Chains A and B, each alone.
Chain A
Amino acid sequence: MNDNLFIVVFAAAIYYGTPLVYAALGEILAERSGVINLGVEGMMLLGAVGACWVATSIDGPAGLVLPIAVIAAMLFAAGGALIHAFLTITLRVNQIISGLALTIFAGVAGVSSYLAGLWDLGQSPVANQFGRMDLFGWGDLPVLGPILFNQTLLTYISWLLVVLTSIYIFRTRWGLQLRAVGESPQTADSVGVAVQRSRYLHVLAGGAFAGIAGACFSLSILPTWQNGMTLGQGWIALALVIFGFWRPDLMLVGAYLFGGLSSLRYTLQARGVEIPQLFLDSLPYVMTIVVLVVVSNSAARRQLGAPAALGKPYEREER
């Protein structure tokens, strides 16, 4: 059963799509508050290095080490997000420039690689990893079992978070305030919503989510440290936010589509399908460029439902 190509591709799509789900979910929160954070890639690397450091340096049962490693990942990445939040929300620096700077600062030639070198990471796979986990014993179900219920705990948690985030954004008072801040901070401010606080919180939450995305790589997919190990997936996550119209549920579909594309090189290669390696490797990035080109027109973005105040700093009128 597990040998069925169809099942293998779908299971791999979910497995490789999971970090994309976390990263894009976090970016949805930040962008819904009106802040674009192009530092996703850098924050993922910070999360990956933080998780790898904890998993390498702490000995203990998986049940103890892995949660600490994930929390470390969230804190590391949120630290990167805090820089972006301070620059863009308090100092009103251009969000695009600040986000790019964050990715460069934290990226391949930056802090994440420096820390990994300092802590001597990447020599061997981490001892405690997120392995496959048979959820509720449903892993034996035909077709659905191997696709849905033989994933890692990180995947199961991501599903829960997608549902909770959807409810939060669309069904709660705080979600209403979040959307108001992203659509029209002036209006939100005039009815007593704390605009700056909301933006800080959601940019930080977005960073923490990107950290978990990084942990998916260093605790499960690779699972060790490699410089630049996230392979540009942070950029794909940014495209997914748009692809999913800033909605968690639609984004999930997109994430698994791109996860599937990313995994093709492993699944097809293993079966000896003759498709040039470079073509497969470039597929998700080509798709990302296509998505970004289509929506780069600001009129199109408005129609897709982008928050109206996205990218615009807010300053209260003092007259």
Chain B
Amino acid sequence: MSETSVAGAVTANAVTALGVTKRFPGVVANEDVTFEVRVGEVHALLGENGAGKTTLSNILTGLYRPDEGHLLLADRETIFESPKAAIDAGIGMVHQHFRLIPTFTVTENIILGTQPPSRRFLLDTKSAEDRIVELAEQFAMPVDPRARVWQLSVGEQQRVEILKVLYRDAQVLIMDEPTAVLTPPEAESLVTTLRSMARQGRSVIFISHKLGEVASIADRITVLRDGRSVATVEAQGSSRESLAELMVGREVTSVIRQGVGALPGAATVLTVDSLSALGDRGRPALTDVSLQVKAGEILGIAGVAGNGQRELVEVLAGLRPRTSGSIDIDGEAMERTDARHPIRMGVAYVPQDRLGTGLAPDLSIAENLILKRYRRPPISRAPFLRPSVIASEADRLMTQFDVRAPSAETPTRRLSGGNVQKVLLAREMSGAPKVLVVSSPTQGLDVGAVATVHQLLLDAAAKGVGVLLVSEDLDEVMALSDRIAVMYEGKVLACMEAAEADISRIGMLMGGADLDEGQGS
């Protein structure tokens, strides 16, 4: 993808931010941010979590007003009084979490809140439908205007969100982490749409923290770090390494599994056989799932969020009852559904919701570190905890896992995401587990912490622990796993050696298509 912008429009700017600063009590969220988005350009805002991307987009869409600096729209100074003013001025935003009403039709969702040009009293859905179909064709986003939104796939719902913005005739489209919820084929068709919007003279601001995708999608990239705009670079000719350096401010090395894998003859430590379970709403969420993990092996589970991964790890951690099937840990059957049983059997669990499910946020690091072992010596003696043992154990683990905190008494809620994850991994590994179940271990972490966590997972496998890695980040699964299983609608569609896995096949499987049957979704 490397079309150039519309000829003659290259110099015109759709949006310009000059020295934009936004402070919150105790925090400067944006400081002296300067960038310009040209007409007909896909412009990426790249930055880690906490780099100020969200605040900046809230300023652009009128939710916040900048404390200092100027915002120019089509080279005219503008201050948005409200989100509505931004919409009226032609700036539209597609949020990461869609603002759609599932029971409404596509058309109803799109026209909601708009002022119809004709007929005062009754809704004129027919002409709205015509206009939606026209827009959908113009920007290569096929969608049935009469379909109900709940019937649509996530990718189609995103199209409805984009159409909602286009229907209001926005000239600038802001997209917040748009590919996070998409399968690779859906992401590709999104890129096609964004490209065609840019070709037709509209501008796209693409917010992301993924280096790879901004380099391939955007024309230019503005990198944000610690609330400041560090640089604006042409996407062409920027390497991932150079972007990562700009983003983090230092050189970063990423961890890649060097095809270690389970040793020949290693024991199977986790056997899941024909496992089924219900979801929160009482509908089947897992159907007939069978998996095996050997000691020292990392099995990656790929899939779009909401296809049964959460239910799978919860069953393994004893937090969700199964309706049928069996789980064996190192040859021993897991019988009961309660959280303590799997711990005794040697299952360690790092949940996706680190501070909610994983740790007690108000307790200290030391207390959190012993949460799974306090019942037995040496941590406790009879009914009493032994503070000196706890303190020395905490010191040992904090050093070993490189937890950076003022002291072991610091409440875990005060830690950064990366340190929270290190505390959690330290606690789980300290129980000498046979199986380690981790769910989205690096979601929301900065690049440096991601590398550390990845290394810790590889270390765990090297010690002979069987690791089950569930992640929505396909790159992560590809980089770390020995074998990869793809989940779709509660089933494991395929399980393959990582060496033989290719990203396009996995992408198709994530969308529910099995290439062996030659079916598209």
A residues 155-208 near B (Cβ < 8 Å) are 167, 171-173, 175-177, 179-180, 183-184, 186-188, 190-193
Do the beta carbons of B121 and A180 come within 8 Å of each other?
Answer: no
B-to-A contact residues, CB < 8 Å = 58, 83-84, 87, 99-104, 108-109, 111-114, 116, 121-123, 164, 281-282
| Smallest CB separation, B392 vs chain A (Å) | 42
Do the beta carbons of B84 and A184 come within 8 Å of each other?
Answer: no
Query: Contacts of B103 on A, CB cut-off 8 Å?
Result: 183, 305, 308
Given A171-B123, A180-B104, A305-B103; A191-B282 close (CB under 8 Å): no
Query: Contacts of A193 on B, CB cut-off 8 Å?
Result: 112-113
Q: How far is the CA of A177 from the CA of B58 in the complex (A)?
A: 25
The 15 listed contacts between A and B (C-beta, < 8 Å) are: A167-B122, A171-B123, A172-B122, A177-B112, A177-B113, A180-B101, A187-B99, A190-B99, A191-B114, A192-B83, A192-B84, A192-B113, A193-B113, A299-B281, A319-B58
The residue in B84, B100, B104 that gathers the most chain A C-beta atoms within 10 A of its C-beta is B104
- What are the 8 tightest A-B residue pairs by CB atom distance, in nearest-first order? A191-B113, A187-B99, A183-B101, A190-B99, A192-B113, A192-B84, A184-B101, A171-B122
Given A171-B123, A187-B99; A176-B282 close (CB under 8 Å): no
Do the beta carbons of B122 and A180 come within 8 Å of each other?
Answer: no
Q: How far is the CA of A176 from the CA of B87 in the complex (A)?
A: 20
| Smallest CB separation, A264 vs chain B (Å) | 37
| Smallest CB separation, B374 vs chain A (Å) | 37
Do the beta carbons of A176 and B99 come within 8 Å of each other?
Answer: no
CB closest residue in chain A, given B88: A192
The residue in B114, B121, B282 that gathers the most chain A C-beta atoms within 10 A of its C-beta is B121
Do the beta carbons of A188 and B282 come within 8 Å of each other?
Answer: no
Contact pattern, A 291-319, Cβ under 8 Å of B = 1, otherwise 0: 00000000100000100100000000001
Given A176-B111, A193-B113; A187-B100 close (CB under 8 Å): yes
Q: How far is the CA of A191 from the CA of B100 in the complex (A)?
A: 10
Instruction: Other than A173-B116, A177-B112, A308-B103, give 4 A-B pairs with Cβ distance below 8 A.
Output: A171-B122, A180-B112, A183-B104, A191-B87
| Smallest CB separation, A312 vs chain B (Å) | 14
| Smallest CB separation, B279 vs chain A (Å) | 12
| Smallest CB separation, A172 vs chain B (Å) | 6
Contact pattern, A 98-109, Cβ under 8 Å of B = 1, otherwise 0: 000000000000
Pick the contact of B121: A172, A299, A305 (CB < 8 A).
Answer: A172
Decide if the interface of chain B is mainly helix, strand, loop or mixed.
loop
Number of CB contacts from chain A to chain B under 8 A: 57
| Smallest CB separation, B244 vs chain A (Å) | 28
The residue in B84, B99, B112, B164 that gathers the most chain A C-beta atoms within 10 A of its C-beta is B112
Do the beta carbons of B112 and A176 come within 8 Å of each other?
Answer: yes
Do the beta carbons of A191 and B123 come within 8 Å of each other?
Answer: no
A residues 111-145 near B (Cβ < 8 Å) are none
| Smallest CB separation, B420 vs chain A (Å) | 21
| Smallest CB separation, A177 vs chain B (Å) | 7
Q: How far is the CA of A299 from the CA of B279 in the complex (A)?
A: 13
Contact pattern, A 47-79, Cβ under 8 Å of B = 1, otherwise 0: 000000000000000000000000000000000
CB closest residue in chain A, given B114: A191
CB closest residue in chain B, given A183: B101
The residue in A175, A187, A191 that gathers the most chain B C-beta atoms within 10 A of its C-beta is A191
Q: How far is the CA of A184 from the CA of B109 in the complex (A)?
A: 11
CB closest residue in chain A, given B93: A190
Query: Contacts of A173 on B, CB cut-off 8 Å?
Result: 116, 123
Given A171-B123, A176-B112; A187-B101 close (CB under 8 Å): yes
Query: Contacts of B164 on A, CB cut-off 8 Å?
Result: 191
Query: Contacts of B84 on A, CB cut-off 8 Å?
Result: 192
Q: How far is the CA of A43 from the CA of B214 in the complex (A)?
A: 59
Do the beta carbons of A191 and B112 come within 8 Å of each other?
Answer: yes
Query: Contacts of A190 on B, CB cut-off 8 Å?
Result: 83, 99
Pick the contact of A192: B87, B104, B108, B282 (CB < 8 A).
Answer: B87
Given A176-B111, A176-B123, A193-B112; A299-B282 close (CB under 8 Å): yes
Pick the contact of A187: B112, B116, B121, B123 (CB < 8 A).
Answer: B112
Query: Contacts of B281 on A, CB cut-off 8 Å?
Result: 299
| Smallest CB separation, B502 vs chain A (Å) | 39
Query: Contacts of B104 on A, CB cut-off 8 Å?
Result: 179-180, 183
Query: Contacts of A183 on B, CB cut-off 8 Å?
Result: 101-104
Query: Contacts of A171 on B, CB cut-off 8 Å?
Result: 122-123
CB closest residue in chain A, given B283: A299
Query: Contacts of A177 on B, CB cut-off 8 Å?
Result: 112-113
Query: Contacts of A172 on B, CB cut-off 8 Å?
Result: 121-123
Query: Contacts of A186 on B, CB cut-off 8 Å?
Result: 99
CB closest residue in chain A, given B97: A186
Query: Contacts of B116 on A, CB cut-off 8 Å?
Result: 173
Q: How far is the CA of A184 from the CA of B100 in the complex (A)?
A: 8
Q: How far is the CA of A191 from the CA of B83 in the complex (A)?
A: 9
Query: Contacts of A179 on B, CB cut-off 8 Å?
Result: 101, 104
Given A183-B103, A305-B103; A176-B108 close (CB under 8 Å): yes
| Smallest CB separation, A55 vs chain B (Å) | 35
